[in-house]
Structure 1
Amino acid sequence: MKYRALKNTELQISEIAFGCMSMDLSRKINDELIHAAIDGGINYFDTADLYDQGKNEEALGQALKGKRSEVIVATKVGNQLRADGSGWDWNPSKDYILKAVDQSLKRLQTDYIDIYQLHGGTIEDPISEVIEAFEQLKAEGKIRGYGISSIRPNVIREYVANSNIASVMMQYSLLDRRPEEEMLDLLESNKVGVMTRGGLAKGLLAGKSPEAFLNYKSKEIELLVNEMKKLTDDKTKLSHVALQWILSHSAVTSAVVGIRTKEQLDQALAYTESTAMERDQLDDLGKVLPPAQYQVHR
Structure 2
Amino acid sequence: MSLAERIGIAVFAVFLFGKCGAFIETTMSNEYMICRPVAGVFGTLGDGKNSSEKGIMPVLQGPEGSPGPPGKTGLPGPRGEPNYQKVSTIVGDKMHSINARLFKLESELASLKASGGGGGGGGGGSSGGYVPPTQSPEDIKNAKDCMDKYKSPINIGTMCYNIIGGEGLLWTFTAAESNCSKLGGYLADLNSREVYDKIYNYIDQTYSTVVQAWTGMRYEDNKLLLRDGKEAVYAKWSSGYPRQSTTSYYASYQKVYIYMDTSAYIRRLSNTRSSTKRAYAICSYDLKGNSTTSATPTTTG
Fold-level match, TM-score > 0.5?
no
Query: TM class, shorter-chain normalised?
Result: under 0.3
Report which of the two structures shows the higher radius of gyration computed on alpha carbons.
Answer: 2
Question: Counting helix residues as a fraction of each chain, which structure ranks higher?
Answer: 1
The structure with higher relative contact order (CA 8 Å, sep 6+) is: 1
